[in-house]
Structure formats: C-alpha cells, structure tokens
Structure 1
C-alpha cells in the first residue's frame, strides 16, 4: 500500500507535543512492514535546524482561497531519520515562516483557520503533483481535519487520486480547530458540507469535519477511544463519535526504542541497561544535581516531570504537592522541563528561587535534557486530568523511572498500579492516584517512596518489569496495517 500521512508536526522537523513523536516514528515502522510511506507537513521556520538535509524541488502549485486570493506554494523534500520515508514540506512563508507553530505569548495566531485550510488543500494538490496515488490518507488532529471532507465531497478529486480511504487520528480531543463560519468558503466546499459535516454552534470545526468524513477514526489508546464517546471527555463531539462507534478504534502509541534506549542513548552522561540500572541512574542523577545546583545526594529520591505546563497535565495537583514538600523540607528533589501557561511558569520560578537545592526547572523545550531527566529521576509524575495516550510514562518505564499517574486514558492502559494483588502476581509497573486531588497525588508518591525505601526487592522488580516491557511501535504498526487493509477492503466492496 501507498500511505500518505498528513500532519503539522514531525520529529525532528517541528514539535510542540506527542503528535510529533508519533508522526516521526509510526511511518517508519509501517514502512518496515513493506509499505510505501510518505509525510506531508508545513515547512515551518526552523525545520532546517532538524539536522536533516532538505532539498528544494521544482514542484509548485497555487490554491484559490477565494475569487481574488490565489496563494502559491512549493514542495521541499527530505528523508525521515535515515529511512525510506519521504517528507514533503509545503513551503509557504506567509503562513509558515513564523517564530512558532500555532501562536505566541499564549495567544493563537489570528489566521490559523486560513493557514490550515491552505495546508489541507495544498497537501491534496501536492499528492496530485507527485503522481503517487495513495491507498490511504492518514490525517492527524484538527490541522488536517478538512482533508477527509475535501476528498469525500469532491468525487472528481477523489477519482484523480485513485479513491483513497481516509483515516482520522485524534491525538487530543480538546484541540478541535474551531473558527468563525465566514472562514468556511476558503475550503472551496459547498455550504451544504458545512451544515452536514463541520458546523459547531454556528462555527466551523475542523476536527468534526474529519470525524464525519473519514472512513475510519482512530485514537491513541483503547480506553481513550471509549472515554471520548462520553460527555465528560468528548468535548462536545461525543455524539458524533458515538454515531460512528463501529469505525472508532483505539491503538496505543508506541515509542522509538532506538532513540529511547538507556543502553545506547548518547544524550546521557552515563548509559546503562537493566543489569546495571542502579549504578546508571545514580550517575545520571548526580549529573543533574551538579548541573542545576541541587543538593548532591545519591539517596534522595528525584522526581521528574517533562511536558506541557498546562492544566490538562494536572498542575493544579502538582504545584501544591511541591510547595508542601518544600515547606516541610521533605527529602525529595524535583526537576521539571516544559513550557506553557504563564501562571505555572511563574509559580515554578518562585519555587526554584525559594528552594534552589530542592527544585529545578528549565522553561522551554530541550530534547537532550528530557532524556537526562528520564534517566536521572527515580519517579516520573504525570497526574493528567485526561491523557489520550501519553509518551513520557513509556519513556519512563524504559529508563527504569517509575511512573505515578492518574488512571485515565492511555495512562491506565500502559501503567499497572502497584496494588498488593498486582505486586503479588508480578504485573505492577507504577502507581495510580487514588483520586484526582493534591492529596491523592501526594499519597501515590508516598506509596512509591515507601516501597523504594522499605520494600527494596519489590521496587527492583517494579523497575525491571518496566524496563523490559515492549513499548515499541511494532505491535501498534501491525494494528494500523490491519486497519488500513480493512478500510481498503471495505471501500473496494462497495
């Protein structure tokens, strides 16, 4: 099969979150199953810093966004991570040559709807110019949500592309791409398509368009696939998903086990494997303590956090617990990497100043530091209010860092709570919060530290079980392959 992935983020070209990790790994793994895979994404400013050779092409196009607005673009080309996966970058400086991907200083760019309408239309134009009829067009999140509707609503266009099937993957239901209805004509679609497929309280909803038009809908864990069909987690689209529940599939994300491997990770001061994890983790912890001015102490438990500083990630739970540990001078150290809500950044800066030997934070994105935090921490805290899949808990397991998580979405699917029963039957890999409160988080951390200090054999077993867990993309890619085959087969039988 020929599979084309449409996405706004791909590691190492552009990243704000887990979407980039998924789209940087899944196409490679699917290609290893014998399929031709390619990616189409925007040529954001900074893609040249990826370290990958990007070449211009002579392929260009012009998209008529309105009667008096014709927007041109051209394609750049690269290969993904030394693989055979083609990356086609849509070069349009007016839309994509900006300091950030979606917005700055906490505010979205005012023309995001127009930018990603252009992206969807340009991606289809690119497929036509490349003359590579796709069997599957795999779209990711709202930024590519209009593409399935464009294919569904234009039979002539679909015919030119060989009638591909479309798959829409939801990485996070909370981000839907909702814009004023006046934007819809830029898509070139009929107003009937607006009312039947993407109208959302009088506005246009890009994600809803994709959910209604795609042949299959996937999301990034089985539990999250069920959760988003409920009012609590459906973010207003639970009815759309419930109506299509026979086409909604949850496939748990994997991780790139070559990039995330403590035994070969060149970003670590000290590499280690499951046979020497204790020695390796102490060495990496010591390096972090020296780098950030934390107390030099091999025995103090280090608690790591990497990710967006956003409410979703449970910062209303985390900050009170850190403050309590600081005030009570508990023997813990906290090391944080991320950026996001200004109020969280402000609170973290204050805590770092108040307790510089106990709390350290780097505001921003730093890939090498993310690896070092995973390697040097004893616990990784991830008390998300909701979590479609999550990747950091998988990185943590592989690096022998025990995750403390809420029992939601992919966190519940990938981390087995260390209950007495699960410890006894040797399935436990981490700790679940008993409730989504600061007290619940502190209690879960307390359980973990109690096992680390007083049940050393159980702790060692927990660490080793996580390190030996297969979290690679192999199983997930095989499930996607089966889904693609089913979608193509169903379309052929119509």
Structure 2
C-alpha cells in the first residue's frame, strides 16, 4: 500500500490557471507520484476543468454543501496519470472567465460559499463518504482550502494529518462573520483564538490555527511573514506557532520550461549553444509588434500580474527614464491585473510605438516566447513568497532584474559590480520601492550586458541553476511523514540514497540537455 496524499487547491494546470499556483500544484503532484506517493488533486469543477479532465466518474453526490448540492467527479489530468477530483456545483460551473474576480477586478460575491464547499468536499473524502479510499494526509493550499483543518477537527476526524501551504499571505479569504453558519463553520472556532480576524471569518487564519504544520515556499519568506512588514496582520498568530512553520522552496517543471526541448519557441538552444536565442528574439518582436531592429538590440521583458504588489506603479514611473537612457531598448509586457495599471502600460505603448509591445492576458505561447526571446526580465515586487517567473526566465538565459525580497533573494544571486562579478551570479537584485531604485538596477544590468564575456557568465549560471521538483518533493514527503498518524508513517518513503545533491543534479541536467540538442542537430 502507498501513502495517500490529497492536495486541495483552487487551480492546477492544464485544468485552470490564473497564476503560478496552478503550475506548482501539478508539478508537485507529478514529482510526489514519481517518488512513490499516491498523490491526487481536489479542485473546483470549473467548466474548463471538467472539459480538460479525462475518464470522469461520479464518486459521490451530496445535498449539504454550503450553497447547495454538488457531486465529486474523479478522473485524471489528460496526458498524465495524475488523479484529479472535481467538485461539480452550479456555482463553480458558472465561472467561465476569471476564477475569483469579475471583469472590474471585484471579488466574486459567492467566493466564500464556493470555497467553503471545496473544504467540505475534502472532509467528505476524509470521512470515507465516497468510493475512494481515505487519504493519510491532506495538503491544503492557500486560503481557498484553509478551512479544512478546522472542519476535520469539528467532525472529529483525527486520523489524517493536515498541512497548510501559504503561497501568498496577502490573500486571506476574509468574509463577514455573520455568514459563518451558512458556511458550515462551528461556533466554537469563531473567536480570536480561532478563525475570527478583526470581526471577520478568515479562511487562511483557520488553516494557520488548526493545521498540524504550516509551510511557505521560500526560506526568506518564512522569516518575513513573522514581521509586521510582511505579516499582513497574521504575524501574531504565526509567531505563536514558530515550531509548526517549515520552508520548502518551490521547483519548476524543468521539462515544460526547457529551451532544449521547448516546442513553443522559434528555435531550441542550450547554455553551450545560444544561437537559437536570436531566432526567439525575432519571434518575440513579431508577437509584440516591436520594430525588427538587429538581433543585438536589447529586449527587456515584464511578465507578471500587473498589480501594486508587482510594482507596476514603480515600473510605469521608471520606464520613460530607462527608455530615454537606452535608445535601442525595446520592451515586451505580458500580464493582467489592475485595470488602471493595464491602461498605463497601454498608454506607454502608444507613446513609444515599435519600442513597447503590450499583451494583456496570458497564453503559454506568449509566455514561452517572452522568456526565450528577451535579454532581461524586470521583476519588481514589494513582497514575493517565491517568484516562479524569474526562474522560468533564467532557464532561457534571460537575466532577472528583481527586488531583494522573499524567494527572489533565495534564488537570484546578485551580480555585484560589472568590474568584478560575484561568483555564481545569475541576476541583478535591488532594494527599495522608488523608481530610481529600479532605474539604477537596470542601468547596472546594461553595464554588464555591454560586456559579452561577463554577460554570458550570467546566462550560463542562470541556465544551469538547479530548479527541479525532486528535492522539494522529498522535503514535502518528510513533512507528511511527521504529521501522519503513527500507523501510516511507515508508508512515506525515506530519502532515497540515489538522490543527487544540487551540483550533481545540475551537471546531469546539463548533460541531458546537450545530448538532446546534439541528437536534434544530427537528425
């Protein structure tokens, strides 16, 4: 028998995606299964999810979910053996565009009811009320699944370990306290010691308070959330449980984000043969309607949510000065978010036709073209739990210019001065939230860019950095073992003796990339 882990989330690729969480969930589940864990995903039955899943079958129908009746449909993610369970309700079926907000960016009015139902669905599975076997551990992700530990406690289900992973503490799932009863929440948790937060019921606080363990997605962020600056009001309750907090950095899917095998880019390449990057730059310019300048003209990318957190306001203020200082620079912007900031970038593109291209929204084609074709990625952030986008960019030799916060400071090694690069440097970090801070960082990056040898060192370091999911998955397995009941702990495998350290993994990855590239050239 294998250890069974249920990952509960609001999104997972390719079923539904608004951001990096969806990438993390599917990649982690795949990695867990590769290491012998029977991992499955529970998520909402959005129309896109129901359409994209395969072999769906009803494993239980219920009339007592918050908001009404619903069914649990079990199947697999198409193209894989990853099991997925979809909560099919009328409310989730009505979500055909953004999963959480309306067209004006306002939170959907039934979010509380929908995601409370998702947590109750997890309880049904844990109580053995479906045709599937009960999990040994439930892994709840962000506020959308935050009620699960509290509900398991309320239903006296004590034979299942619970882990809450905080991907972004700023999103908390806070709702009016007077709807708590309609969400199926017991009265004894609706207090300051439980799920109550400043007169509201907080889904995330419920998870923080009642989960067996809490994890975050980078070591620096795990420390930051204990401070008033980054704690978003939760630093008090987190500091009351310091021994329960673990830091497990994210990985990325190194098969999906791989310049040697990527079918979505114009030409494949590797860190030892970057010729294909020029063709990718040409394609990027076409996609974003940029002038076809020579291949040496630098392209700066900005690809993220266009929000205050991501310093969209700072970028809008800094870019005119940056463009004036570097007259050959072109900019490609990909993302969506705050309508005011979106409009700001569109206006900037009108002011600089042919030099700035803006695509509001997200497609995999645009994202892969952006990372493969750009020279640099501008990624300012006021706080950053991990930072997947710079990791994607680094895989393609696109150098990140990022804020020194959270996971960014863990994964990006600052280059230092152009005259003496820091050993192992793979990007540029900056402190502060003012336009001049960003301008200075971009100028320093351009100084390095002007020196081909130093720039190629940065690219090589960036492209060979260890970024896979094997090590993080094993860390999660160790954590699952800690929180599982004594009777099931033996089911969680110990660290494999064959596990490679980071340097060995990097070398092995490089060899695989080179062999694949040489075969393609020979073919």
Query: Scaled by the length of structure 2, what TM-score is found?
Result: 0.88
Q: Is the 8 A contact 1:74 1:91 kept in 2?
A: yes
In the other structure, the counterpart of 1:74 is 71
Q: 1:312 Cα shift?
A: 0.3
In the other structure, the counterpart of 1:296 is 292
Q: Which moved more, 1:308-317 or 1:408-417?
A: 308-317
Note if 1:171 corresponds to 2:170.
no
Q: Which moved more, 1:186-195 or 1:222-231?
A: 186-195
Q: Is the 8 A contact 1:221 1:410 kept in 2?
A: yes
Q: Alpha carbons of 1:81 and 1:289: their partners in 2 closer, same or farther (altered >3 Å)?
A: same
- Of 482, 485, 488, which aligns to 2:481? 485
In the other structure, the counterpart of 2:464 is 468
For residues 452 and 487 of structure 1, what CA distance do their matches in structure 2 show? 48
Q: Alpha carbons of 1:227 and 1:16: their partners in 2 closer, same or farther (altered >3 Å)?
A: same
| Cα RMSD after superposing both structures | 1.9
Deviations 1:410-463 (A, max 9, x none): 00000000014995552111001143221111111111111111x221111110
Q: Alpha carbons of 1:119 and 1:96: their partners in 2 closer, same or farther (altered >3 Å)?
A: farther
Q: Alpha carbons of 1:492 and 1:132: their partners in 2 closer, same or farther (altered >3 Å)?
A: closer
Extract unaligned runs of 5+ from structure 2.
490-523
In the other structure, the counterpart of 2:29 is 27
In the other structure, the counterpart of 1:101 is 99
For residues 356 and 490 of structure 1, what CA distance do their matches in structure 2 show? 64
Deviations 1:40-82 (A, max 9, x none): 00011222554x43524253222254xxx7x211122332353
User: Match of 2:194, SS?
Assistant: helix
Q: Is the 8 A contact 1:63 1:118 kept in 2?
A: no
In the other structure, the counterpart of 1:459 is 455
For residues 180 and 406 of structure 2, what CA distance do their matches in structure 1 show? 33
Q: 1:389 Cα shift?
A: 0.3
Q: 1:118 Cα shift?
A: 1.3
In the other structure, the counterpart of 1:55 is 56
Q: Is the 8 A contact 2:41 2:84 kept in 1?
A: yes
User: Match of 2:180, SS?
Assistant: helix
- Of 185, 188, 195, which aligns to 1:192? 188
User: Match of 1:313, SS?
Assistant: coil
In the other structure, the counterpart of 1:39 is 41
User: Match of 1:138, SS?
Assistant: strand
Q: 1:146 Cα shift?
A: 0.4
In the other structure, the counterpart of 1:411 is 408
Query: Scaled by the length of structure 1, what TM-score is found?
Result: 0.93
Q: Is the 8 A contact 2:413 2:425 kept in 1?
A: yes
- Of 306, 309, 314, which aligns to 2:303? 306
In the other structure, the counterpart of 2:124 is 125
Note if 1:7 corresponds to 2:9.
yes
In the other structure, the counterpart of 1:446 is 443
Q: Alpha carbons of 1:49 and 1:272: their partners in 2 closer, same or farther (altered >3 Å)?
A: farther
User: Match of 2:460, SS?
Assistant: helix
Matched length: 481
For residues 414 and 296 of structure 1, what CA distance do their matches in structure 2 show? 33
Q: Is the 8 A contact 1:6 1:139 kept in 2?
A: yes
Q: Is the 8 A contact 1:63 1:122 kept in 2?
A: no
Q: Alpha carbons of 1:422 and 1:200: their partners in 2 closer, same or farther (altered >3 Å)?
A: farther
